[in-house]
Structure 1
């Protein structure tokens, strides 16, 4: 990730990476009837948009490309067709694309293109849960939510521009623009509630268990708690376009109860697990892999190990990490810098805040030229490093809340950076899901020990299989394991 980077941006970026679906917690849950698009809003195009093929290609590329899993894709297509027949617009056509990404995500284009990541399929435990996600995305399309958001956004931009340029009042124009961001975010959250309510209704009408929606959102919330490392999902963002997951769970649970008691409709668990057996899990080795506290990138031929207590995640542009209480954070990324450019210059050019000149140190670590430095902010203290491995330059940043200098842990982390030998790179295999049938004597603990998990294997086994802490496995029932 090239470009200048500030202490503020560093902290905001790490918070964003840990954020779950979030909302303004002070507002009340609005009913679908409260959603209104201003009459003065400029009108945008309808369901079919020019350039949709280009949007599709960009989206697929940004999520790692299309993932080939014929059985899983067949299931997604059949579920979608069943949901559409039960929807308010049964004549509309949809196409589902499975994305090669470990993140848990699903979204839709107004044209009817639906997208589901393999990370989402790995988290779901039965067909009704995936059907709930698809029903939610179909609702966005049938309710024309993207068009409504575009109209409101265009109107907000128009008002701000008129005030700033035509009326020559840039201050008021900026205030209106800032207010419009909150308005648009709240509007988007209201749409999410409406899509949730509509999705549960269609889910039940299609014959699926309507409580599949709440089960999946519960699993999502537990997954986010695993990421934070402290058992709690991340704090909400006032400008988040999605409500807090806990709010959504309450909403879809109420909607399902209005339809009937648990047990109504099918979940098709066995069919679902059979369809995802062998599904890739976690990072693609070509994009780098997290193994506990280690990060390995066969393509770049590098590896490092983070200090104790840090949990790390490999994102598209950087490796990010945090301790459970959030008082220490780290970032590793690659920066664009020519081989003849000084490493101190690279650090200063990619860090907006003040660097303590007396702290700058030129070193050789593992045979690689390295420059380290200290930067102190109002609330955080940062240690920075620029390291040149061959012709590639990397940054390593560690932050500690308050005035505490994270230097001891930072140095251990930086000194752990090492090259990966070709033999080791070739031996790294992607993890995948294996569906196993519990035998007498199998337990949560014995299954967890068979898991190749980045951390907290028992908790991950429970979440992946929709089990609460203290639950037991049942002989004869199928379960998901993460294996190599």
Structure 2
């Protein structure tokens, strides 16, 4: 979580609103939250490289991640794949991003980006190659250029109908319909990139079934988040068709090429290259340890009430119960000089606040103002808290008319300063590669994982193991350690 600007405050509110109105987006409409506006997901090579755009994109993903061995691996795999495409003369400059989300994308300038979150999830080189082949296919097939042309054409038609023919209602209807057409078009492109990617994967000598394995791991990771009551992570799932459908299609594409075992997976090299990379949140943006959130740079910490799972996003900490009936949001807001906490709540909350519900109080020595807001389907408890020179919002929502006050009060009472000693002890989690010893089991290795919940399931997902599958003596496996 980073301090929020006025725009970011609105984005944080949107996060809460989206969490409270889940499942309202259409199945064909991909969410465009993964890549910022200045960095389209993929495009054909239509414009020259722009260093300012590159720097802006890298900054939006937490900066560049320094991991020489991993960077060499990604670059080598990319070069090998490009030579197997229909445009072998193209070159790509690879950048690793310091982001825990699972994502990769290519830009028209020949830049290719991979997050450390994706590297942590992958289990062998063929899985990484499958992702890169998919993204390269978008570029070689010039998908984004086609999407842009279609979008501009639809916008022009809508504008002509609305302005020239003086029919705003029909123009708005056409524009709305064009969004669904564009979404279906993008969906078709994703499947086309999957098919082309699998073919490139095989031509480059990699196991074509690596695509299905990676998508399976992605699907299982998402299931873990949903099972923990967390919101959808802004990863590759946000801009692609449903994963089970893609798994089926890439598996069929691989079978058309040959039986399993064709090509190499190069697992040992892959695991050696990612040994030691960071896993999960960057301490500079706050860390979640169980139900406790600690932000050393902002100097604040809190503990979520029992039953809440926490998710540290770029602009806010979100929390939810497994049934989704209770949610919370914590973020930092910028304030004007002399602005009171009551005014902070009024300025950053879009809905009506109950008249007479404002209350001044002290929370562990910090000045705070609390209030109540009641929506049609949700009951909100709000607070603005000043800790030193920083101002934070703490919002809890309960579905229906039930007041979340008891849990909200416990949450407020947990807010505290982060001591310098505690800040110094905070280190990022990392991936450690260990060889299974005689007597080791998936359960015993999972017990060594420094994760808050479901260590066995997380160990199995990270290592591509089916439930109940044994580990093999001498084989390398990934652990998440401090």
On whether the aligned pair clears a TM of 0.5, the verdict is yes
Find the counterpart in structure 2 of residue 386 from structure 1: 384
Find the counterpart in structure 2 of residue 13 from structure 1: 18
Report the CA distance between 1:301 and its aligned residue: 0.9
Report the CA distance between 1:157 and its aligned residue: 1.7
CA RMSD of aligned residues (A): 2.4
The runs of 5 or more residues in structure 2 that have no matched partner are 30-42
CA contact (8 A) 1:442 1:475 kept: yes
Structure-2 separation of matches of 1:396 and 1:156 = 42
Structure-1 separation of matches of 2:198 and 2:450 = 35
Find the counterpart in structure 2 of residue 41 from structure 1: none
Give me the TM-score of the superposition, normalised by structure 1.
Answer: 0.90
Structure-1 separation of matches of 2:454 and 2:146 = 42
Find the counterpart in structure 2 of residue 30 from structure 1: none
Find the counterpart in structure 2 of residue 329 from structure 1: 327
CA contact (8 A) 2:101 2:117 kept: yes
Find the counterpart in structure 1 of residue 348 from structure 2: 350
State how 1:302-317 maps to structure 2 within 5 Å: 302-317=300-315
Structure-1 separation of matches of 2:466 and 2:231 = 16
Structure-2 separation of matches of 1:274 and 1:454 = 25
1:407-454 deviation line (CA, Å, top 9, x unaligned): 111111121111001111011111111000010111222212211113
Report the CA distance between 1:46 and its aligned residue: 5.6
Find the counterpart in structure 1 of residue 225 from structure 2: 227
1:233-292 deviation line (CA, Å, top 9, x unaligned): 9699xx964211111111111111111111111111111000100011111111111111
CA contact (8 A) 1:210 1:256 kept: yes
Find the counterpart in structure 2 of residue 148 from structure 1: 146
Find the counterpart in structure 2 of residue 32 from structure 1: none
In the alignment, structure 1 residue 24 sits paired with structure 2 residue 22: no
Secondary structure (helix, strand or coil) at the match of 1:363 reads strand
In the superposition, relative to structure 1, how do residues 5 and 60 fare at CA in structure 2: closer, same or farther (>3 Å)?
closer
Find the counterpart in structure 2 of residue 261 from structure 1: 259
Structure-2 separation of matches of 1:454 and 1:348 = 36
In the superposition, relative to structure 1, how do residues 169 and 104 fare at CA in structure 2: closer, same or farther (>3 Å)?
same
State how 1:103-142 maps to structure 2 within 5 Å: 103-142=101-140
CA contact (8 A) 1:104 1:119 kept: yes
In the superposition, relative to structure 1, how do residues 482 and 96 fare at CA in structure 2: closer, same or farther (>3 Å)?
same
Find the counterpart in structure 1 of residue 400 from structure 2: 402
State how 1:154-165 maps to structure 2 within 5 Å: 154-165=152-163
CA contact (8 A) 1:387 1:393 kept: yes
CA contact (8 A) 1:22 1:244 kept: no
Of 412, 415, 423, which residue of structure 2 is paired with 1:414? 412
State how 1:52-201 maps to structure 2 within 5 Å: 52-201=50-199
Find the counterpart in structure 1 of residue 38 from structure 2: none
Find the counterpart in structure 1 of residue 298 from structure 2: 300
In the superposition, relative to structure 1, how do residues 298 and 74 fare at CA in structure 2: closer, same or farther (>3 Å)?
same
Structure-1 separation of matches of 2:233 and 2:431 = 30
Report the CA distance between 1:69 and its aligned residue: 0.7
Report the CA distance between 1:10 and its aligned residue: 4.7
Secondary structure (helix, strand or coil) at the match of 1:358 reads coil
Structure-2 separation of matches of 1:137 and 1:438 = 34
Secondary structure (helix, strand or coil) at the match of 1:471 reads coil
In the superposition, relative to structure 1, how do residues 23 and 251 fare at CA in structure 2: closer, same or farther (>3 Å)?
farther
CA contact (8 A) 1:197 1:255 kept: yes
Structure-1 separation of matches of 2:231 and 2:398 = 21
Structure-1 separation of matches of 2:154 and 2:464 = 43
CA contact (8 A) 2:135 2:193 kept: yes
Number of corresponding residues = 461
Give me the TM-score of the superposition, normalised by structure 2.
Answer: 0.91
Structure-2 separation of matches of 1:46 and 1:187 = 16
CA contact (8 A) 2:12 2:315 kept: no
Find the counterpart in structure 2 of residue 249 from structure 1: 247
Secondary structure (helix, strand or coil) at the match of 2:302 reads strand
Structure-1 separation of matches of 2:86 and 2:438 = 47
In the superposition, relative to structure 1, how do residues 76 and 46 fare at CA in structure 2: closer, same or farther (>3 Å)?
closer
Structure-1 separation of matches of 2:400 and 2:464 = 39
Structure-1 separation of matches of 2:274 and 2:334 = 39
1:295-349 deviation line (CA, Å, top 9, x unaligned): 1111111111111221111111111111222111111111111352111111111
In the superposition, relative to structure 1, how do residues 194 and 22 fare at CA in structure 2: closer, same or farther (>3 Å)?
farther
Structure-2 separation of matches of 1:300 and 1:233 = 24
Secondary structure (helix, strand or coil) at the match of 1:359 reads coil
In the superposition, relative to structure 1, how do residues 395 and 282 fare at CA in structure 2: closer, same or farther (>3 Å)?
same
CA contact (8 A) 1:339 1:391 kept: no
CA contact (8 A) 2:12 2:316 kept: no
Secondary structure (helix, strand or coil) at the match of 1:356 reads coil
1:70-123 deviation line (CA, Å, top 9, x unaligned): 111111111111111111111111121111111101011022211100000000
In the superposition, relative to structure 1, how do residues 375 and 229 fare at CA in structure 2: closer, same or farther (>3 Å)?
same
